A and B are shown apart, each in its own frame.
Chain A
Amino acid sequence: MSKAGYGQLICVLLLIAFIGFSFFVEEDTVKAADEIGAAVTENISTQGLKNFDGERLSSQFGFDVDEFDSFFYCGSEDIMDVREILIIRDSEKAALEKAAKTIEKKSEEKYSTYKDYDPVASSLLEKSVLEISRGAIIYIVHDDAAAGLEAFFKCVEE
């Protein structure tokens, strides 16, 4: 085979690899939500935030928390403080997607409440991040949401 022929072959292989990477092989992380949560909160300020239990989580989002493999939830007791960090781990993709939809809806509702009323809260909600990756949901409402998200990706992809 010619040099150009090898060139084509390599490209075909790389294309298959690219499709595979972006499509099929994204194995779930083995880490539990607590561990991911610790990695995330290490990178952002948690002053005034505290870890909540499942009861609080279900009252906030209406989840049946026993359905999830594990979760991590922290937020503030103060109603006007909208900061929160939520991580949900589950092996079922559909369950995660459903939960993410619920979170998204809640977040939008909250935003419309605070919009035009509290500039700090609404700007935080506006730049909140919600992502699903490697069998985990991350939802952050925080000044350092971007840094938190980065830490999350790093943690689940390790």
Chain B
Amino acid sequence: MVFSSATFLFLFFPLFLILYNLKLFKDKNKETLKKNTVLLIMSLIFYAWGEPVYIILMLLSIFYNYNAVIDIDRYISSPKKKKLVFVCALIFNIFMLGFFKYYGFVVESINGLFSLSLPVKNIPLPVGISFYTFQVLSYVIDVYRGDVKAQRNIIPFATYISMFPQLIAGPIVQYSDVEKQLSDRQVTAEKFAAGIMFFIKGLGKKVIFANTVGAVYTEILGMETATLSVVTSWLGIICYTLQIYFDFSGYSDMAIGLGKMLGFDFLQNFNFPYKAVSITDFWRRWHISLSSWFRDYVYIPLGGNRKGTARTILNIFVVWSLTGLWHGAAWNFIAWGVFYGVLLIAEKYVFASVIEKIPKFIRYTVTMVIVMIGWVFFSNESLSAAFDYIGSMFGLWDNCFIDSTAEYLLSGNLFSVIIMILCATGVFAALPRIKNFRVNIAFMSIGYIGIFILCIIYLISETYNPFLYFRF
């Protein structure tokens, strides 16, 4: 199930709210247990709605890791055994993710490298496996390190892994961040209202913004790349840049909002990445939960930057190749990751002293151009298609600067693209607020409900499917 579907919004979620908030027990602990149980069961239904078979996989992951962590905790005094259980758990989780996500890619790559023809079976990717495996790993590693206590009760643990707000598209919630809330959390009217606002904001980003610009980019991708005018190709990549941000951060906002309505506080996942003035800055603002996961569980354990320059560079490369690979099982994602690895190293070692002296405006422009070029690699499955597109952006194929297609696309979309750019770069968010608190809240409430209704209009009319007798 996805949040932006009628079934979720109007059936699943209302039903969930009733069950979740129905007060059965006076005792606080019992009530929390009931809440966790409802959340767990409903999350499993939520997952099974889209992936009826792969739910088995998630349940296996939950049971395995629950037991593994109990063992790790038990062998606290015999490091060897503890290590053995831990390594087994790492292998189990990485194998599960690796097999279901990368099997086809690995076989195809081997076939390509050694010109073999091993049979490739297309295994559909279990939704959310990248996210919940990373959550499980963070928990297992934290327990092994002694940073958090092992969860002895399977219900809160299973709830943590399968919780529907962040199950499908993150953010990656680390166990230590929600440990307390799993056994004790409060929902106040303010928090619930803030949750609604977050949710509606995210839904709007996804349904109104991302889908609209996404359609423009799809249309441009459908054209002959080599003959795109410079303006068209830039418009296309700007649209994709906006689409991927609104889509992804919209999903995170919805997750954070839903979390708040249930009493959880998830960490922020995006902080206006398109305001970044350097690549390092960009990655501090983009998909924060993933970057911090890789920092905490790969980069720092590898030695981080404490083992000399050569080792640091190697570590950065490892982390960024993995980051690329995490986004998808294809070479273009690895290329995209390495692209950023190189840039971050360059920023750190080559340009570090120069950057400060460059005017902010130029730094910002350069950063955004680099980010957009990154998205070209991200969105084109083959590297050659990506280079073709970049060529068009810089007029390398003798394509004209502007043509009638570009003028037409601009006339239809310029207005909405500018609005979206202003939203994405935080210009609107920085506008001064109404001073009077009550008036401010009233305005915001009306505004958000308006956006919510608009989202529903977009959602329903997307399914407009007229039947035409129009064969000429």
Contact = CB atoms under 8 A, between A and B. Distances in A.
Interface residues of B, number: 25
Interface string A10-25: 1110110011001100
Contacts of B57: 15, 18
A117 B469 contact: yes
Interface stretch (B11-19, B68-76, B173-181, B223-231): B68-76
B71 A19 contact: no
B60 interface: yes
A8 B68 contact: yes
A2 interface: yes
A24 B71 CA distance: 32
Contact of A4 (B53, B74, B99): B74
B467 A5 contact: no
Contacts of A119: 467
B25 interface: no
Given A8-B71, A11-B67, A22 B123 contact: yes
Interface string A140-154: 000000000000000
A43 to B, nearest CB: 22
Contacts, number: 56
Interface in A116-149: 116-117, 119, 122
A7 interface: yes
A15 B53 contact: no
Nearest to B468: A116
Contact of B123 (A2, A7, A23, A117): A23
B185 to A, nearest CB: 28
B74 A2 contact: yes
B64 interface: yes
A116 B123 CA distance: 35
Given A18-B57, A22-B53, A22-B123, A7 B470 contact: no
A7 B66 contact: yes
Contact of B60 (A4, A11, A23, A122): A11
B70 A4 contact: yes
Nearest to B469: A116
By secondary structure, the A interface counts as helix
B60 A8 contact: no
A8 B96 contact: no
Interface string B444-470: 000000000000000000000001111
A5 B96 contact: no
Contact of A18 (B56, B470, B471): B56
B64 A11 contact: yes
B125 to A, nearest CB: 13
Interface string B56-92: 1100100110111011001000000000010011001
A98 to B, nearest CB: 15
A33 B16 CA distance: 46
Contacts of A115: 471
A153 B63 CA distance: 31
Contact of A8 (B53, B88, B123): B88
A108 B123 CA distance: 25
Contact of B470 (A12, A22, A113, A116): A116
A8 B74 contact: no
Given A15-B96, A18-B56, A8 B471 contact: no
Contacts of B471: 113, 115-117
Nearest to B66: A7
A52 B68 CA distance: 59
A87 B467 CA distance: 31
Contacts of B89: 8
29 contacts: A4-B68, A4-B70, A4-B71, A4-B74, A5-B71, A5-B85, A7-B64, A7-B67, A8-B64, A8-B68, A8-B88, A8-B89, A10-B63, A11-B63, A11-B67, A12-B64, A15-B57, A15-B64, A15-B96, A18-B56, A22-B123, A23-B121, A113-B471, A116-B467, A116-B468, A116-B469, A116-B470, A116-B471, A119-B467
Q: Which 3 A-B pairs have the closest CB atoms?
A: A7-B67, A11-B64, A4-B67
Interface of B: 53, 56-57, 60, 63-64, 66-68, 70-71, 74, 85, 88-89, 92, 96, 99, 121, 123, 467-471
Given A5-B67, A8-B67, A11-B64, 10 more contacts: A2-B74, A4-B67, A5-B71, A7-B63, A11-B60, A19-B99, A116-B467, A117-B471, A119-B467, A122-B467
